[in-house]
Amino acid sequence: MTWNRKHLLDIQSLSAEEIFIVLDTARGFKAVGERAIKTVPALRGKTVVNLFIEPSTRTRISFELAAQRLTADVINFTAEASSLKKGETLKDTARNLEALNADIIIIRHSATGAPHFLSRFLNASVVNAGDGAHEHPTQALLDVFTIREKKGRIEGLNVTILGDILYSRVARSNIWALLKLGAKVTLCGPSTLVPRDFERLGCRITHDVREAIENADIINLLRIQHERQRKTMFPSIGEYASLFGLNRARLALTKPDVLIMHPGPINRGVEIDSSVADCSRSVILEQVTNGLAVRMAVLFLVNGGKGPQEIRA
């Protein structure tokens, strides 16, 4: 089985084999970050554009560093400082970037499907760095990479995703990846943020935290996204923390080898207690390290996935 995709748009359309190719490739790239010289020439002479129409710091920095470690040239493009403010359309912006011979365009956008839209008319590779509440594929890939590295497998594990599922692209991408790889997924949170519809994907849904975390091998906590909530979905942050926050008392109910994950940025005292975030079962910072390796792997694979092409002088 080989990788022959030019774009990474979502997890939904990937096969389990393709996900494993990314994970295996990322393992090799993780080792590069541990060397004295942390760069390899795999994307030498390529131009990577970070087209971030929606604000992001950690994902953009992770992609930027990933591209640099592959020796690509990187341009950062943010909505605030761009001609999108002057009324240029996304399509025109992307076409202009391609006119500068961009090879890979990494896009974050508040609209679902924006990366898919670009991929229909660009010759460059398109990588989805988060589109609306739809998908955030590299986050899911780094999460399953971390789980596999820590647990040695993914199949058969009980994974609980706790928090704001409704507005979360991380949740959707994780659900696709975990189910494809054979994990059992439980979703938990306030009923307003965990719609029953997700049962149709093959997830179990509960609103009882104790039940959700008791048998979990992995607890993936999601941030309460104030910026995405148009109306109040629960009475107060304090109430959310007391009913659904992962604190010491709740941690005591979990399996002794449970992994605590969080895509960041964490809200200490809301979805996760400070002492839990810093405890030995938390792999939150390792997720950041693995994110870099996974994004290097994705850039490497989509660049090669274009198939034979002319060498540019």
Partner 1 sequence: MFKRTLLLDASDIQRALARMAHEIAERNPASANVVLVGIQRGGVHLARRLSTLLKDVWGHDVTVGALDVNMHRDDLNHRVPPQIHPTSIPFDVTEKNVILVDDVLFSGRTTRAAMDALNDFGRPRAIQLAVLVDRGHRELPIKADFVGKNVPTSLQERINVALNEEDGEDAVHLERQ
Comparison of 126 and 133: residue with beta carbon closer to partner 1: 126
Segment near partner 1 (CB under 8 A); pick from 132-140, 157-165, 270-278, 303-311: 303-311
Residue type, 275: S
Residue recorded with tokens 């109430």: 239
Q: Are 163 and 189 in contact (CB under 8 A)?
A: yes
Distance CA 172, CA 12 (A): 9
Our finding on whether 16 is near partner 1 (CB under 8 A) is no
Residues in 69-98 that interact with partner 1 by CB under 8 A: 70
Catalytic residue among 6, 60, 108, 223: 108
Of 42, 61, 266, 288, the one binding partner 1 (CB under 8 A) is 42
φ, ψ at 105 (rounded to 5°): -115, 120
Q: How far is the CB of 102 from partner 1 (least distance, A)?
A: 16
Comparison of 104 and 161: residue with beta carbon closer to partner 1: 104
Of 27, 95, 150, 228, the one binding partner 1 (CB under 8 A) is 27
Q: How far is the CB of 17 from partner 1 (least distance, A)?
A: 12
Q: How far is the CB of 48 from partner 1 (least distance, A)?
A: 15
Residue recorded with tokens 């790239």: 29
φ, ψ at 128 (rounded to 5°): -80, 120
Strand partners, 160: 186, 219
Segment near partner 1 (CB under 8 A); pick from 29-37, 141-149, 180-188, 242-250: 29-37
Q: Assess whether 109 carries a catalytic annotation.
A: no
Tell me if residue 160 falls in helix, strand or coil.
Answer: strand
Q: Assess whether 255 carries a catalytic annotation.
A: no
Our finding on whether 24 is near partner 1 (CB under 8 A) is yes
Q: Are 291 and 16 in contact (CB under 8 A)?
A: no
Q: Nearest CA to 198 among 234, 156, 166, 162?
A: 166
Q: What torsion do the CA atoms of 105, 111, 117, 118 make, to the nearest 10 degrees?
A: -20
Q: Assess whether 230 carries a catalytic annotation.
A: no
Q: How far is the CB of 37 from partner 1 (least distance, A)?
A: 4
Comparison of 39 and 191: residue with beta carbon closer to partner 1: 39
Q: Are 176 and 218 in contact (CB under 8 A)?
A: no
Q: What torsion do the CA atoms of 41, 45, 47, 48 make, to the nearest 10 degrees?
A: 0
Catalytic residue among 6, 7, 46, 59: 59
- In DSSP notation, 75-118 reads EEEEGGGSGGGGT--HHHHHHHHHHTT-SEEEEEESSTTHHHHH
Our finding on whether 313 is near partner 1 (CB under 8 A) is no
Residues that bind partner 1 (CB under 8 A): 2-4, 21, 24-25, 27-29, 31-32, 35-37, 39-42, 70, 297, 300-301, 303-305, 307-311
The residues annotated with a catalytic role in the active site are 58-59, 86, 108, 136
